[in-house]
Structures are given as C-alpha cells and as structure tokens.
C-alpha cells in the first residue's frame, strides 16, 4: 500500500457566493416600509496550510477533489446570509504549487505558511444595498458570484540542509540512522529506501537536517530507477554529501566511478552545480572497505573534495564528520 506520495493533482473548488435577497419591509399601518433585503454570504476559500505533522501528499492522492462551502442567500429584515466555511488543507513543509501548465505559483516553506488555492465568490447584493435616491425600492437583487475552480499540481520538495546521495545500498540509510533519530528501513539489497528520510543532527551547538534520498543509478535524470521521482528532493539542500560505497561486491564499481556517475546524473538534472560537495567514504569497518578508502582518498582530495572515511558502526568517524 502506498504511504508516501510527493506529487498529486488537486481539483480545488471554492464556494459560490450567496444570492442577495429581495424583500420589502412590512409593518402594521405601513405596508411598504422600503427595501430590507440582505446581502448573500461570501463563498468559502480552499486554503493550503503548511503543517509540521504532515509529511506526505497521500491524502490528496486518495481524495483529489476538494470543495469549500457556498455562502447562504441573504434574508429580509436587513439580515445578510452567513458566509461559507473555508476548507483548510494541510500540506507538508516544502510543497510547491503549480498550475495545470506546470508554472510555479507558490512555494510553501515554513510551518504555518498559507496559500489560497481557490477563492470563494462574493455574495450578491440585496435590494437594500441597491437602493438609491433615484431607485428607492428596487425589485431585484444580485446573484452571488461563482467560486474559483482550479486544477493545481502539488509537488513536495524536502526541506533539508544536507542531502545524502549515492548508489542504492551505499549505506545512506545506515548513516542517517547513526547520526540522527531517524529510523529508516535498512536492508542489504538495492532500493530499500523508497521514500526520502529526514533526520535532525545535533553536533555541539549546531543543529541541521539531513535528507536520505533514495538511491540513484545511471539514467536517473531520465527517469530510470527512482531518479526523477526523488531528485527534486535535493533541490533545496545547501550541500550534498556523496556517500560512496567502499565495500561494494560488484566488480565493475569503485568509489571514484560511482562519484562520476552520480555527478553526471546531477548535472543532467540541472540546478545543483553551485552546491558544495563532501565525500563520505563509507563502510570502512570492512577490511576491504578501509583499504579501498585509503586507496582513493587522496585522488578525491586532489579533485578539490573534502573527504571523510566513515562508517555507521564507527562512532569516532561519525564524530569527526560532524565536526
């Protein structure tokens, strides 16, 4: 069963405004006391609200059609109709709102941020509001305006300071579990991670968030593997950490080649060239892993990278990485 959804189409329908009322005040001995029809109520808005307790767009995947309440018609005796209630839809932090053509119209970052996805129609004026010196007793009122109907695309881009990127089974999930309170699913086979995981790291007085992005493979920028589904989750990150597997059992791979492949996919995706890169040579707890890390570390430093040999099983190496 799907539990994580980061892209949906939302059909938002705001409420219609209530109609104005046509009414004439009648009292004993005063059958025509003048117009007293009230205005119709405003239609409800469809509002998106960033909620820290929401981490997925799954609700909209199951129920994409959302409609606000319409306003009520006005009454006699100068009483306006009640407005329709707004419908507030809670979305995750980092939700991007686009129109049906894919043009971005809002970027919802920060808890409590709101966006009116569809605006309710104005209520119609009653005949009291339409009366004037020239037309003392209008026998008509205005209809309420229809609410907006909008087709919107919601796309979630994780809000994190650091993104861990690398091949499937490079150890990204193990690292984020070791340096934060996040508890992602971990297993020794590719594509264990099927959703981005976020962890909060406390290093001394410094606190930052880390995103464990599902593994990338050659062709990810064209949609192979899980690439296009999750590459968007690295867009907001301040820096990227390449988690390179120094203990891989695949004979046609090595850390330097893995780095070149992932960098090529990031370049093809675009927009990430200005992000600082850090290299984490992972799995140095394995004998072959430590030897491989020693072999490639200097060549990576010669390319201008900061290089840190690490392992989820060696807390000392992780402490050095934190620093």
The per-residue pLDDT for 316 is 42
In this prediction, residue 212 carries a pLDDT of 80
The domain boundary residue, chosen from 156, 185, 205 = 156
Domain termination residue (choose one: 156, 181, 202): 156
- If we measure between CA atoms, which residue out of 2, 39, 287, 136 comes closest to residue 295? 287
**Distance (Å, rounded) from C-alpha 289 to C-alpha 302?**
20
**pLDDT at residue 43, rounded to an integer:** 97
CB within 8 Å of 152: residues ≥ 6 apart: 9, 10, 11, 12, 97, 98, 99, 100, 105, 117
Q: What is the pLDDT of residue 104?
A: 95
pLDDT at 215: 56
> Is the domain of 109 the same as that of 60?
yes
Cα 265 from Cα 217, distance rounded (Å): 8
Give yes or no: residues 100 and 200 share one domain.
Answer: no
If asked whether residues 149 and 169 sit together in one domain, one would say no
72 and 202, same domain (yes or no) = no
How many domains does one find in the chain?
A: 2
* Listed residues 156, 171, 194: the one ending a domain: 156
pLDDT at 225: 44
Domain residue limits at 94: 1-156
- Mean pLDDT per block of 10 residues along the chain (323 residues) reads 73 97 83 86 97 88 95 95 97 93 93 96 95 88 97 88 83 79 46 60 80 64 50 83 85 85 84 89 87 92 93 57 48
Q: Does one domain contain both 217 and 290?
A: yes
Co-location of 90 and 185 in the same domain: no
Cα separation, 219 vs 268, in Å, equals 9
Q: pTM value?
A: 0.74
Same domain, 211 and 296: yes
Q: Are 135 and 186 within one domain?
A: no
Same domain, 150 and 168: no
The CATH number assigned to the domain holding 169 equals: 3.40.50.300
CATH code of the domain covering residue 22 = 2.70.210.12
pLDDT at site 182: 53
């Amino acid at each position: 069963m799907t539990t994580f959804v980061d892209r949906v189409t939302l059909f938002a329908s705001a409420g219609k405004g209530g109609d104005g009322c046509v009414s004439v005040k009648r009292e004993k001995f005063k059958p025509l006391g003048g117009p007293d029809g009230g205005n119709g109520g405003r239609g409800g808005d469809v509002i998106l609200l960033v909620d820290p307790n929401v981490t997925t767009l799954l609700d909209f995947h199951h129920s994409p059609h959302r409609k606000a309440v319409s306003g009520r018609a006005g009454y006699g005796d100068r009483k306006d109709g009640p407005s329709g209630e707004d419908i507030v839809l809670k979305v995750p932090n980092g939700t991007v709102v686009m129109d049906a053509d894919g043009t971005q119209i809002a970027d919802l970052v920060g808890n409590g941020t709101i966006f009116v996805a569809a605006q309710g129609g104005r209520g119609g004026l009653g005949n009291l509001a339409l009366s004037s010196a020239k037309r003392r007793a209008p026998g008509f009122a205005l209809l309420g305006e229809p609410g907006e109907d909008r087709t919107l695309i919601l796309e979630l881009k994780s809000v994190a300071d650091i993104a861990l990127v690398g091949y499937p089974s490079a150890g990204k999930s193990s690292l984020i579990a070791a340096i934060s309170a996040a508890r992602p699913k971990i297993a020794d086979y590719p594509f264990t991670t099927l959703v981005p995981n976020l962890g909060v790291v406390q290093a001394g007085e410094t606190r930052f968030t880390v995103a464990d992005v599902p593994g990338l493979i050659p062709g990810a920028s064209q949609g192979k593997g899980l690439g296009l589904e999750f590459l968007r989750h690295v867009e907001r990150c301040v820096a990227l950490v390449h988690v390179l597997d120094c203990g891989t059992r695949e004979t046609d791979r090595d850390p330097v080649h893995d780095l070149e492949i992932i960098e090529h996919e990031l370049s093809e995706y675009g927009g990430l060239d200005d992000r600082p890169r850090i290299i984490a040579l992972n799995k140095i707890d394995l004998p072959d892993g430590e030897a491989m890390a020693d072999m490639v570390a200097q060549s990576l430093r010669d390319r201008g990278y900061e290089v840190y040999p690490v392992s989820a099983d060696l807390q000392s190496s992780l402490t050095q990485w934190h620093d």
